[in-house]
Amino acid sequence: MEKKYLVGMFSVLVLAMFVVGMNIGNVKDSTAGDNLKYGSDVCIYKNDELIECKHNTVTTAGLNMVASALAYGEAMVITNLTLGNGTTPIAAHTALDSLWITGGLEGATGTVNSNGNGNWSVAHTWTSTGDTQLVNITGLYNATNNILFAGTSFTATTLQTDDQLKVNYTLYVT
């Protein structure tokens, strides 16, 4: 039961993050005059060495998930992560192309971690079971309907047997 509660809280935090993100220019602290800020970074590690960190692209479907959750109370569990060797994700995508479905690189449920107030992450580490497996894209999916919420491309990386690749989406509101 506690896991459902945690997933529900994560959904609310994701919703808040995107509402804030859509209104960054409009939301102000009336006493301090500072804008509320949203950010999201995706960091990719191969065998515990950082490949790169960059921002992701939230899809139109992802934004519509947030709107449905706010307007109609629909549940959002954004915890599924994928890897692929395909084209850079764009807002119009509802799924990534050329996803890995074998070789130890199949889609997986990420681990959600709280990093403090308004800051959380979803991460997973894959272990390659094959040689010369090229990866260059990752996606964060809604676990309920398997629709792409956000994704990014990264420097193409070739994995050999027993290589590990970790993807860590960090989301924050300040």
Buried/exposed 106-119: b ≥16 CB within 10 Å, e otherwise: ebbebebeeeeebb
pLDDT cut 70: percent of the chain above it: 77
What is the pLDDT, as a whole number, of residue 166?
Answer: 98
Token code pair at residue 5: 């509660």
Is it the case that residue 15 has pLDDT exceeding 90?
no
Please give the C-alpha separations between residue 136 and each of 38, 75, 127, 133, in angstroms, as whole numbers. Answer: 25, 30, 16, 10
Query: What's the pTM value of the predicted model, to 2 decimals?
Result: 0.76
The pLDDT-based confidence of 93 (bands split at 50, 70, 90) is very high
Give the orientation angle of helix 60-72 with respect to helix 2-22, to 10 degrees.
Answer: 110
The pLDDT-based confidence of 17 (bands split at 50, 70, 90) is very low
Distance of alpha carbon 56 from its chain centroid, rounded? Answer: 8
What is the pLDDT, as a whole number, of residue 35?
Answer: 66
The more confident residue out of 22 and 73 is: 73
pLDDT tens string 121-130 = 999 999 999 9
What is the pLDDT, as a whole number, of residue 2?
Answer: 53
